Amino acid sequence: MKTNFLQVAALALWLQFGPDAYADVNVTQVAAADSRKEARRSPTEEEALQLAALEGLMNMPADRAMPILKRVLSGNQSTLVKERALFVVSQFSNAEAQQLLVEVAKQPDHPLRREAIRNIGIGGQPGALAVLKDVYASGDEAAKREVLQAWLVADRKDEVYQAALAAKTDAEADRAIQTLAAMGAREELRKLATQRKGSKSLMEAFAVSGDIQSLKRLAETAPDAATKAEAVRRMGIVGSPEAKKALREAYEGATDAKVKAAALEGFLITGDDQAVLEIYKAAKTPEEKRTVLRTLTAMGGDAALGAIDQALGGKK
Amino acid sequence: MTMNDDDFVKQFRDRLAGIPEEPVPPGTLMRWRKALDAAARSSQAEQPARASAFDMRLRFAAAASIVLAVAGVAFLAREGGVSPGPGPVAAARAERGVQLHLIELESQLVRVSALAGADRASALRELADQNRLQTAVADRAGGAREARVLRAFTVTLEDMASEADQNGRFKAALAQLDFELKVTQARLAASSPSNSAVRSQAL
């Protein structure tokens, strides 16, 4: 144990006083695109040693680790090493660590900005997270994506909801709605539904978060058949017994062919061939029988074989 | 008539005195030495072997009890039954659960990296699902900090799954995740002295 500590301390000292540490390089001159490429490669042998030293900092108190981390971030270690250093910073909850992340996140051209935003989410300190609202509001598309992901990591549903409400474009709203779906934020999505009734991404979010009630409500209250059909089709994604029941009700209650077709597509997604077979048997017109039979055959399975046999006169 | 001990010793000495003194043949001496060396080696080796078997049982018991504890918390979380609450015991249990999960994740990633394309993507999605479950457990036990790290890992695992057929990107993402796993494990081990033993017990 003592030997380990000494090794770690020696590595940490090496990081601090390594030959590159004192070089005066303005890191902000490096393009953000280069930073992304840096993150997309494996570490070299030299970097691997530096990363081992960074790992070792977790065994040190924050007041001893922070000066070393600051030196690494302002030195000319590679961007890859600096990005990893930011993760180590996020694991310290002291104000100095959070301030370090915030300073980087605030600079639009900083090559480490993306990683700093991510690590503010991982750190989860309220003060640092508050800064992300400004970063989101003033940031470009890439920064907005990173902030949404940081809010997801920090489980900040309200911030994502506010971002969806304040979205200036459909694409921006869609990204926030998708994030809310990934967070399982049903309440926030339901609140949004009152304002963005025809939004496909909202329906997708309801489906992903398993909110069949909201999809049913949309299908019942949508002003046009196309929106109703979109909502019904997505019931198939939920796939629960409740969703299968809702699909059956939607099929039977529909007067529009588009909605009926959407319900069959929903069944196709759930793979519930027995339900489709029952619809086939109850079909009232030859045209309806043909349509349902096509869905059944697309599903395959025993129910489809039985129906094909029956249609060809093999069984009654 | 019975012989007492003193008589027996006297008789034995008399008989020894009657045996002529002859040197032990070299072959016999060599055989005795080899036998003595072998006996010494086996008695030395036997002790660690017994200790190792005991150690293994201890490790297994420790790992099993942690898995049961984690499964118990997960069950409670899923069933919505009695909440363990964010008390110190539940938090410590969740922390140890996370530590064990990270060790397991680390070893699973080694296995996954040997797989090809579609199999790799599917295995990574499974790992992401396991990670989500562990996140829910950590959240419920009041381990918000651990839950945040795990959520970040889920995002990384999903990204890796979507790029599973691109070896360069996969390796880079794997290297980053491996680093972050080790740092998190080091933090958990440093924050709780009792946890430092878990890794060695679980391995």
| Selected residues 62-101 of chain A with any CB under 8 Å from a CB in chain B | 83-84, 87-88, 91, 93
Q: Note the pLDDT of residue B25.
A: 53
Nearest residue to A57 via CA among A17, A99, A85: A85
Chain A residues within an 8 Å CB radius of B163: none
CA distance A198 to A202: 8
CA distance A269 to B102: 35
Q: In Å, how far is A57's CA from the nearest CA of chain B?
A: 9
Chain B residues within an 8 Å CB radius of A124: 144-145, 148
CA distance A76 to A84: 14
> b/e per residue, A11-37, with b = 16+ CB within 10 A?
bbeebeebeebeeeeebeebebeebee
Q: What is the value of pTM for the model shown?
A: 0.68
Comparing A11-25, A140-154, B95-109, B166-180, which segment has the lowest mean pLDDT?
A: A11-25
CA distance A243 to A238: 6
Q: Please, which pLDDT band fits residue B120 given cuts at 50, 70 and 90?
A: very high
- Answer yes or no: is pLDDT of B28 > 90: no
Residue A124 sits at the chain B interface (C-beta within 8 Å): yes
3-state SS string over chain A?
CHHHHHHHHHHHHHHHHCCCCCCCCCHHHCCHHHHHHHHCCCCCHHHHHHHHHHHHHHHCCHHHHHHHHHHHHHCCCCHHHHHHHHHHHHCCCCHHHHHHHHHHHHCCCCCCHHHHHHHHHHHCCHHHHHHHHHHHHHCCHHHHHHHHHHHHHCCCHHHHHHHHHCCCCHHHHHHHHHHHHHCCCHHHHHHHHCCCCCCHHHHHHHHHCCCHHHHHHHHHHCCCHHHHHHHHHHHHHHCCHHHHHHHHHHHHHCCCHHHHHHHHHHHHHHCCHHHHHHHHHHCCCHHHHHHHHHHHHHHCHHHHHHHHHHHCCCCC
Q: In Å, how far is A211's CA from the nearest CA of chain B?
A: 18
Q: How many CA atoms lie within 13 A of B76 on its CB side?
A: 16
Among partner residues B149, B151, B183, which is closest to A88 by beta-carbon distance?
A: B183
CB B134 within 8 A of CB B98: yes
User: Is B149 in Cβ contact with A152 (below 8 Å)?
Assistant: no
Chain A residues within an 8 Å CB radius of B175: 42-43
Q: Note the pLDDT of residue B21.
A: 53
One-letter amino acid at A110 equals: H
Chain A interface disruption, residue of B106, B148, B171, B177, most A CBs within 10 A: B148
User: Is B151 in Cβ contact with A58 (below 8 Å)?
Assistant: no
Chain B positions contacting chain A at CB under 8 Å are 139, 144-145, 147-149, 151-152, 155, 168-169, 171-173, 175-176, 179-180, 182-184, 186-187, 190
Tokens 């922070």 appear where? A66
Nearest residue to A193 via CA among A201, A145, A226: A201
Nearest residue to A280 via CA among A262, A293, A267: A293
pLDDT tens, chain A, 316 aa long:
444 555 455 555 555 544 343 333 333 333 445 555 555 788 999 999 999 999 999 989 999 999 999 999 999 899 999 999 999 999 998 999 999 999 999 999 999 999 999 999 999 999 999 999 999 999 999 999 999 999 999 999 999 999 999 999 989 999 999 999 999 898 999 888 877 656 788 888 899 888 999 999 989 988 889 999 999 999 999 989 999 999 999 999 999 999 999 999 999 888 888 899 999 989 889 899 889 988 888 887 777 777 777 777 755 4
User: Is B186 in Cβ contact with A124 (below 8 Å)?
Assistant: no
One-letter amino acid at A91 equals: Q
CA distance A273 to A280: 10
Its ipTM equals 0.71
Chain B residues within an 8 Å CB radius of A54: 179, 183
Among partner residues B139, B144, B175, which is closest to A42 by beta-carbon distance?
A: B175
CB B178 within 8 A of CB B105: no
CA distance A280 to A265: 14
Other C-beta atoms closer than 10 Å to the C-beta of B154 total: 21
Q: Note the pLDDT of residue A199.
A: 78
Q: Note the pLDDT of residue A209.
A: 86
